[in-house]
Each structure stands twice: as structure tokens, then as C-alpha cells.
Structure 1
Amino acid sequence: MRRKGLFIFMAAALGAAAPAMAQTSTTDEIAKYRQLLADGNPAELWEMRGEELWKTATGPKKVSLEQCDLGKGPGVVKGAYVELPRYFKDVNKVMDLEQRLMHCRMSLQGLTREQATKTPFGSAGNPSDIEALVSYITAESRGMKMSVSTAHPQEKRAYEIGQKIFFHRGGAHDFACATCHSVDGQRIRLQELPNILNKTNAQAAYTTWPAYRVSQGEVRTMQHRLYDCFRQQRFPEPAYASDVITAVTMFLAKNADGGVYNAPALKR
């Protein structure tokens, strides 16, 4: 009887451990899959096209973006992304990368807002110049540590607004960003859901965007990632390059401070 009881106990223990073992196994296999593809990440094609676009004179003014100031001086892209979003004195506001690119395309190249934000998210046969430019600029910060400032009052305010949005519940499902991203160990199907309130998780999540999405065959930027999150929560769709997105990005980026930037990455 004692042997039978021991057998039942061991079977129950193994049964309880099985989901955790399966989850770990799945996570490990996904990590191996990403590693196998990492050396041939298609995002490199977006990076090369983005560099060409950055240096090409275009728009009504027939100038390139090489004088665009991303925060470290006109034309400096090396290390710019790991310090964004940030306060820009010339416009008296906090901007993320895509907002700043839109501003430079309008002010330097003479594009209208509509032209500067045309096709923010690419699709088959309809590539996005913005996703290419973002890929190039972000790649120039690869290997550097995130260092986002909240020293300026407007930077601090953007962070606080982003934090409030992160925890705000609403929409048809009464969801918030925090519903999925404020608890350790959560997942949906095979997808891990990083806890953004955990610094290690926040660093690992933020520093791998933008990314080439295998399932979509496109590079997706942080703007797209957040837009898609709002869509899935059934929230009103935020306008492209809106201050709402910048505020949430500021919250995420600051939480990732100190993390080594490693993107454009590759994701499912």
C-alpha cells in the first residue's frame, strides 16, 4: 500500500510539473529558432534601404535627412536611439524617433504632414520608407545601453502620462496594457508576455524593437507594436505619431534604462 501511495504521489507531482516543463521546452525551442535565423535577419535589407533614403536628396526642397537632429546634433545617428524619446527645444516638446523623423521630413525636405507619414506600416508590394529609416537609425545604436532622460519637466510629464495610460483600463474587454504586462510568467498561446514592471523583462522587451516579423514579412517599429496593442485591447486607434504613443514609449524606454540595445531583431 505504501508503494502504491508513493506511485500516486509521484504521478501527481509529475503531472503538475508537466505544464511548466512543456512551457520551458517551448520557450527554449523558440529561442533556438530565433538564434538560427539571427545571422540572416531580413531586417538588414530594411537597414540598407533606410541608409540610402537618409542620404538621398528628395522632397520639394531637394535635400537629404543628413542634417536631421535626432538629439545628438545634425546628422548624428550613432547612439541617438538609445536616448529617445527626449525633449527637443526647437519644437518645445518630447518626441520619439518616428515623430522626430516626421518633423525632419517636413521642416528639412518640405513634405506635407500627409506625405511625411505616408505608408507608416508597409505591406507586400507597398514598402514603407519610415520602417526602413527607423531600421537604419536604430541599428546605429546596436550594442549601446539605453539611457533615457526624465530630467526635463516635459520628459518627466511624458513618462507619468505614459505610466497612467499603461494602467488605464477600458475598451470592450476592460483591458489595460498592465493586464498582460505587469505579472511575471504570463503568456498567450506560445507568446511570452513580458512584465514591463520588472526591469530585466522591460530591458529584454524594449531593446529588441523594431523587429522583422516572420509572420508578416515586414519590419515593425515601436509605433506599430503599440498601435497593435491598442487595437487588440479594442481601444480607439491612436493616430500615427501621436503624443499618446510617445508617452507610452517614454514609459517603456525609461523602464528599460541600462539594457543593451540589440535591434532590429527578429520575432515570430
Structure 2
Amino acid sequence: MSRLTIAGLVTSALLAGVAFAAEEPNADAYREMTYGDRDANPALLVIDRGEELFKEKRGPKNVSLEQCDFGLGAGVLKGAYAQLPRYFKDTDRVQDAESRLLTCMTELQGFTVEELTKQTFANDKRNEDNTDLEALTVYIAAQSDGMKINAPAEHPKEQEAIKVGEGIFWRRQGPLDFACATCHADDKKRIRLQNLGNFSKAGVDVQKTMSAWPTYRVSHAAVRTMQHRMWDCMWQMRLPDAQYGSPMTVALIAYLNAQGKDGTYALPGMSR
């Protein structure tokens, strides 16, 4: 194919993209145009790797993660992600999938938190593969595909986490005086092609977002987890890096899942 032909195709694609953005700035339509078939989602390859890592005997103790309890009993993954974050008696705190994963990898397998969190996310600028933590998380999450968001809120610490998360959502902070609500507390707000859902009220917007994570981000060529979403949003607010699996990030996820209760998971998701 000649360079002229390639240039013509690129120009046509760009013009089509401009027209699409002008007429229908909709992330769902973008996903459909890019990867309409869920079986073509590259995240499926990462899920396969996550399953291998989950079942492989690893770490100083040379054991698998098959005895990890994500809230429904040791080794039970079916539906577990749909009921996270939740309170765990052994740690006496509310944990999401990723902070719970850290607990199991340190307690069961003998890894240290320092070595596990040395690199938590793939660097898309270097075209890196997803990290072990990302692969494990998307595998665990995928076992709740088609289920309802249904994190418990009966324990006092679960209720506290939701309230703390709500406070974080509205709190203006940092050099830009931003809050999560700056972008996510109004209807029909967007940036470029991306719709910015209104998460200040329970309903479709927040359900649609929370039910699609972990997601394969086309622009990153990598799977991204909810902990990455928290880190990335805070980075864009020019706040210090959020600690992976910290109580703050878990509380914010707990609030968002409470707002998105009863949304149906479609995992792995796909987004721009």
C-alpha cells in the first residue's frame, strides 16, 4: 500500500472521528466502533495470565492464592468482586479487591508489601505489559461478570467507609482546589470525547462506570483497575500519589459502589 493511500485512509479516519465527536460524543458508541465484539477485548489475555498467577505456587512460602478469602470463603471467587469493598475480621478493616489481594499475597505467599507495590501499574508510555497485580485483579473481577453491584453496608466500619468516601468525593483540595465532584457532580458534562458521569446521585451514570471496571483502556493499551482510576484522578488533581490499596482509596470506592448499587457488571470493560 502506498504512502499516499495510507495518508488518505488516516485523513478519512480523522475526519470521521471529528464528525463522530461533533454529532455523538458518546463513550459507548466509541467502544462499539473500536471493539464491538466482547470476545475481541485484549483484556481476556490478561485474565488468562491472572488465572495462571492465581493458581501458581509463588512467593517465599511457595503457595497459591487459592486459599485467599475475598469475603465468600477461602478460594471462592464467583461473585466475590461484586460484594467488595467489605469488612474483613482478620484485618479489622474494609478492603477492596486489590487491598485484599495484598493481604493474601503477604500472609499466604510471604511477599512483602514493599516488593509487591514497587510497581503496581503498567507504564503505557513504555508499552509495558500489565503488572501481576493488575492481571490478578482483572481475573478475580471477571468472576463477577453479569452480577449486580452489591457491596454490603451492614457493619459499622462499612458504613463509616461509605461516609468517609462521600466526604472525600466532595472535598476540594490540592493546588487546583479540585474535588471529585468538580468533574462528577453534574449531568451531561464531558471532556473531549469522554462523558463525565454524575456520581453525586445514585443511578445509571455511576452504575455504568463502576460496572465496567477493571477495563481495557484503548488509549493505554493496558488493563486498568479501580485503584489505578483513583490514582490517576488524584494525579490529574495534582495531589500526592495515592497509596495503592490505602483506606482513602478504598473508602472512595466504597462510596461509589454504594451509589452504583444494583448495576450489572460487564467485565472486563473497555474504555477510551
TM-score (norm 2): 0.87
Q: Secondary structure at the match of 1:212?
A: strand
Partner in structure 1 of residue 250 of structure 2: 246
**Unaligned residue ranges in structure 1 (runs of 5+):** 1-20
The answer to whether residue 172 in structure 2 is matched with residue 169 in structure 1 is yes
Partner of 2:270: 266
Residue 139 of structure 1: aligned partner: 142
Corresponding position: 1:130 with 2:133 = yes
- What does 1:202-213 align with in structure 2 at a 5 Å threshold? 202-213=206-217
CA shift for structure 1 position 117: 2.4
Using the alignment, how far apart are the partners of 1:231 and 1:118 within structure 2? 18
Q: Does 1:156 align with 2:156?
A: no
CA distance in 2, matches of 1:133, 1:32: 26
Aligned match of 1:257 in 243, 261, 268? 261
Cα displacement (A) at 1:122 = 1.4
Residue type matched to 1:145 in 2?
Answer: K
Deviation at 1:35, TM superposition (A): 4.9
The letter of the residue matching 1:262 is A
Sequence identity, in percent?
A: 46
CA contact (8 A) 1:34 1:267 kept: no
Distance change >3 Å, CA 73–CA 122, structure 1 → 2:
same
Cα distance in 2 for residues equivalent to 1:61 and 1:114:
17
The separation in 2 between residues aligned to 1:125 and 1:25, in whole angstroms, is: 32
**Which residue of structure 2 lines up, in the alignment, with residue 183 of structure 1?**
186
Map of 1:21-40 to 2, 5 A cutoff?
25-27=24-26, 29-36=29-36, 38-40=38-40
Closer, same or farther: CA 53–146 of 1 in aligned 2, 3 Å: same
Mapped contact 2:55–2:66 kept (Cα < 8 A): yes
Mark the runs of 5 or more structure 2 residues left unpaired by the alignment. Answer: 1-19
* 1:11-46 alpha-carbon deviations (Å, 9 max, x no partner): xxxxxxxxxx96552327425324525330000011
Instruction: Write out per-residue CA displacement over residues 225-254 of structure 1, whole angstroms, 9 at most, x where no aligned residue.
Output: 111001111122211111110000000111
Give the structure 2 partner of residue 50 of structure 1.
Answer: 50
Matched residues, number: 248
Aligned partner of residue 223 in structure 1, secondary structure:
helix
Q: Which residue number in structure 1 is paired with residue 240 of structure 2?
A: 236
When normalised by structure 1's length, the TM-score is: 0.88
The residue identity in structure 1 corresponding to 2:147 is M
Query: Which structure has the larger Rg?
Result: 1
**Structure 1 residues 55 and 193: alpha-carbon distance in aligned structure 2, compared to 1, 3 A threshold:** same
1:118 Cα deviation from its structure 2 partner:
3.5
- SS of 1:26's equivalent? coil
Query: Partner letter of residue 110 of structure 1?
Result: G
CA–CA distance in structure 1, aligned partners of residues 166 and 138 of structure 2: 26
Greater Cα offset, 27-36 or 215-224: 27-36
What amino acid is the match of 1:239? Q
Task: Report matched runs for 1:50-89 at 5 Å.
Answer: 50-89=50-89
- Partner SS state of residue 165, structure 1: helix
Distance 2:39 2:74 in 1: 32
CA distance in 2 between partners of 1:190 and 1:102 (Å): 35
In the TM superposition, 1:7-22 aligns within 5 A as none
Which AA in structure 2 matches 1:196? F
Q: Deviations over 1:145-190 (max 9, x none)?
A: 1111111000000000000000000112111000110100000111
Distance (Å, rounded) in 1 between the aligned partners of 2:74 and 2:31 = 38
Query: 1:112 maps to what in 2?
Result: 112
Name the amino acid aligned to 2:47. E
How far apart, CA to CA, are the structure 2 residues paired with 1:246 and 1:260? 20
RMSD of equivalent CA atoms? 1.6
1:200 to 204, 207, 211: 204
Contact 2:31 2:270 in 1 (8 A): no
CA contact (8 A) 1:106 1:112 kept: yes
Does the aligned pair in 2 maintain the 1:182–1:196 contact within 8 Å?
yes
The answer to whether the 8 A contact 1:186-1:194 is kept is yes
- The ranges of structure 1 where at least 4 consecutive aligned residues each deviate by more than 4 angstroms after the TM superposition are 21-24
